[in-house]
Structure 1
Amino acid sequence: MGKTRSSKNKTGASSRASTSKAEQPTATDLIAQAHAYLGQSNFEQAINSLALALDIEPANREAKEILGIAEIEGGDVEKGREHLTGLLPPHVQDPAPSTYLYLAQTAPTPQEALQLYESAIKLLESKIEAFSTRGSGMEEEDADADVDVDVTKEELMKECITALVAMIEIWMSDLCFEPQASSECDTLIARALSIDPNDIDALLTLSSIRMSQSKADEAKQVILQVSRLVMDVIDRIDKAEDEGEAAVTSTNTETSDTTGQDRMADEADSNPVVRDLPSIPTRHLLTRLLLEHHQYVQALRVNDSVRREDELEVEGCYLEGWAWYCRGEAIEAGDEEGAKEKLPEEETLPSKNECWTEALSSFMECASLHESQEHPDQGILAHVQELIPLLEKAGIVVEVDDEEAGEDVDMA
């Protein structure tokens, strides 16, 4: 019996050891865990996970890069930059563009930042070229050396443009008084637009350059070009939604809806630059620029896409109110440029008071959202609190349904 009991114990211990070994996280698991911690701004735990990953795989470059990023984000910039620098030549022969980009963002001088961005851009351009060469019939084993299967050519193009725009921002801020600043901006934006002539962020940067060069008319034309690109996406989204709603009452719902979506996708494929709406911050910027140039209806339509995407977004709510307020002023002043357009759902132009009623409703909602979310932008709240009494003094009243009373617009 003793022998049998001993045998069972050995077997049980072996099983537990095997299970314990199987449950040990891999370096890949720990890196994924670190990404999750970074998403929660838990830099300490991310660093701990990455340290464990490097214990398992000391040469893992992804872990080293993310460790450097986590340290920088956690406040230890010097240590983080040291880790990232170790991933550049002469330490490694094939650095990743992302390493240069992260280092550029924390460079101690604008000149060093420019050099790091340029190094990243050259690597990105070579990868973009590899995609093009691959498509032109180059032997796959030769082309694939520079092609990352985890990214698309479009993603590389966007990353390259983003780096070029970052360089322009340095020339327009830290180095704006350098005699070559204007020409450098022109050269860099030309490079960005040669990669993608319809890139929204590049075009908005072009408008900023033209404004800084006192070329207001050219800047306005660029902004209107951007607006047309964004409107094209919005119109196609609206069309797809309308077709989808109509399909609900059809006997062939699935076929009709899919057809509409496929048609929208086909249009997007023919012009991949505008297949998706730009980011919310980019649409905020475009809305503000359209308002500056008295394009109130276009501003409302662009901002409406933000509101539909996130109805609780504070800045979108504020810009909605400001656009209606400015439109009302334009109508009152007889501003031909600002008052002649109608929204698609409008049969006639609204009156000043109708615009201001919409504005007051948005401002009151914005103030409520600002308070409930403890939003950090106090400038928005100050402006809203300045405009609400002005509109109320002008006799503007927001009618509230009984069900809504005491909810979003309760500003007592």
Structure 2
Amino acid sequence: MGKFQRSKVTTRQPGSAPAPTYTVNDLLTQANQALDTFEFELAHQFAMRALQMEPQNLAALEAAGSIEVELELFNEAKEHFLQCVKIQPNSGYSKFMYLGQMSEQLEAISYFQQGVNLMIAERAAMPQDLTKGSEYLTLSSKISSALCSMTDIYLTDCCFEPNAESQCEAYLAQAIQIEPVTPEVYQTMASVRLSQQRVDEAKAALAQGLALWLGSDPTEEDGPTPDYETRLALVKLLLETAMYDEAFTVLNGLIEENDQVPDTLYLFGWANYIAAEEVDESSPTADEERQEQLENAREALNACVKLWHATESTDQPLLQHTQELLETITQVLGPEIEQEEIEGGEIEYEDDDEEMN
């Protein structure tokens, strides 16, 4: 028989450094530092390590949930925020905002409403000398944005609720009262007016919202310019209400900011296609104008298709409409020239017979 081998016990040598120990606060600090450099996976590891140490720690639960939203781990995030609600149901609005975004229909409305109530209470409790400060204004903007989200839910998922229209009007009125200079409110109002077939009022709301930010610097921190996604939605409303000049102004700003977004290129192509259809036939240059608009549309739509595949987009309706537009443009302009190479100003084509041999 072999001899029994006693396991070796490693002992710390005198004078050697002890194993490092971390507190929950240390781990959450590390998570925040990782977030600052967009290392979401690493941040999540730190947050989960903190939760292993203290499973009911509110800060750790909120940190884990917010990081999981960034990682699109929505089921895990929702579970962590629900735990936060159990621990602290009557304060801390952020968890309710997250839950509202991850929920649907009336459940989402309920979470948003709880968050709005907490924000309004927090805003009302601020000392008078802070009512013009950045913290007060930021909170007002968040309340207004949440009310717009609630309006959007009643416009879409809950549109068949008997009180849908009255709720939309109530939320909009409250949002304007709280933050009358937020472009998002007037954009949401335009959506409501369009759903009511009140097109002129929708145009007026869009114009009012545009006047609040158009011409400002989109890169300015905390500036009045709406975020990229909000401006994309705005372009759709501007096209729907035939406000083409304004649509192109917003689109040009979006493309200058980031021209690698399929939705932006699609809308730019779609806008040019519409502009071609709207060319004044009485103009002596109508044909040239129409051709230029269609060529611009084709260039943007071709770029959209390439980006759609490159980014592995899943928006099939966008791709389908883009391809339909390209087919229609080809019927008008003819097929694009397949260029082998250009030498001396002449285009050289491949010979079909040679290609077959």
Task: Give the TM-score band, short-chain normalised.
Answer: 0.7 to 0.9
| 8 Å Cα contact 1:101/1:116 also seen in 2 | yes
What is the alpha-carbon distance in structure 1 between the residues aligned to residue 38 and residue 84 of structure 2?
Answer: 17
Pick from 201, 220, 232 the counterpart of residue 284 of structure 1.
Answer: 232
Shift of 1:350: 6.7
Equivalent AA in structure 2 for residue 29 of structure 1: T
What is the alpha-carbon distance in structure 2 between the residues aligned to residue 56 and residue 27 of structure 1?
Answer: 10
Gap runs ≥5 in structure 1: 1-8, 138-146, 241-264, 340-347, 404-412
Question: Does 2:335 correspond to 1:387?
Answer: no
**Aligned match of 1:180:** 163
Equivalent AA in structure 2 for residue 321 of structure 1: G
Question: Does 2:264 correspond to 1:316?
Answer: yes
Shift of 1:122: 2.1
Q: Identical aligned pairs, as a percentage?
A: 25
Q: What do the CA deviations read for 1:348-406 (whole angstroms, capped 9, x no partner)?
A: 99711111121121122222222222222222222222222322332367788969xxx
| 8 Å Cα contact 1:107/1:113 also seen in 2 | yes
Change (3 A) 1:289 1:170: closer
Pick from 94, 97, 111 the counterpart of residue 93 of structure 2.
Answer: 97
Question: Does 2:66 correspond to 1:62?
Answer: no
What is the alpha-carbon distance in structure 2 between the residues aligned to residue 365 and residue 319 of structure 1?
Answer: 12
Question: What does residue range 102-181 of structure 1 map to in structure 2 within 5 Å?
Answer: 102-107=98-103, 110=106, 112-131=107-126, 133-135=128-130, 152-181=135-164
Shift of 1:101: 2.0
Change (3 A) 1:333 1:73: farther
3-state DSSP of counterpart to 1:198: coil
Shift of 1:315: 1.1
More helix by share: 1
Q: What do the CA deviations read for 1:57-105 (whole angstroms, capped 9, x no partner)?
A: 566422122335539935347743541222333xxxx620012223334
Question: What does residue range 235-314 of structure 1 map to in structure 2 within 5 Å?
Answer: 275-314=223-262
| 8 Å Cα contact 2:81/2:95 also seen in 1 | no
Q: TM-score, normalised by structure 2?
A: 0.76
| 8 Å Cα contact 1:65/1:87 also seen in 2 | no
Question: What does residue range 224-243 of structure 1 map to in structure 2 within 5 Å?
Answer: 224-233=207-216
What is the alpha-carbon distance in structure 1 between the residues aligned to residue 299 and residue 189 of structure 2?
Answer: 35
**Aligned match of 1:372:** 310
Pick from 200, 212, 216 the counterpart of residue 195 of structure 2.
Answer: 212
3-state DSSP of counterpart to 1:156: helix
What is the alpha-carbon distance in structure 2 between the residues aligned to residue 74 and residue 46 of structure 1?
Answer: 16
What is the alpha-carbon distance in structure 2 between the residues aligned to residue 315 and residue 284 of structure 1?
Answer: 8
Equivalent AA in structure 2 for residue 75 of structure 1: N
Shift of 1:156: 1.3
3-state DSSP of counterpart to 1:21: coil
3-state DSSP of counterpart to 1:152: helix
Equivalent AA in structure 1 for residue 227 of structure 2: S
3-state DSSP of counterpart to 1:392: helix
Change (3 A) 1:105 1:383: closer
**Aligned match of 2:85:** 85
Change (3 A) 1:109 1:357: closer
**Aligned match of 1:409:** none
After TM superposition, where is structure 1 displaced by more than 4 Å over at least 4 residues in a row?
22-25, 33-40, 45-48, 55-59, 106-109, 396-403
Q: TM-score, normalised by structure 1?
A: 0.67
Gap runs ≥5 in structure 2: 1-12, 344-357
Q: What do the CA deviations read for 1:112-132 (whole angstroms, capped 9, x no partner)?
A: 433332221122123333446
Equivalent AA in structure 2 for residue 224 of structure 1: A
Aligned residues: 324
Q: What do the CA deviations read for 1:260-314 (whole angstroms, capped 9, x no partner)?
A: xxxxx8xx9xxx8xx3421111111111111122222221110111111111111
What is the alpha-carbon distance in structure 2 between the residues aligned to residue 74 and residue 277 of structure 1?
Answer: 29
3-state DSSP of counterpart to 1:177: coil
Change (3 A) 1:402 1:324: farther
What is the alpha-carbon distance in structure 2 between the residues aligned to residue 353 and residue 68 of structure 1?
Answer: 52
3-state DSSP of counterpart to 2:75: coil
**Aligned match of 1:5:** none
| 8 Å Cα contact 1:322/1:359 also seen in 2 | yes
| 8 Å Cα contact 1:27/1:57 also seen in 2 | no
Change (3 A) 1:52 1:372: closer
Change (3 A) 1:398 1:226: farther
Root mean square deviation, CA, Å: 3.8
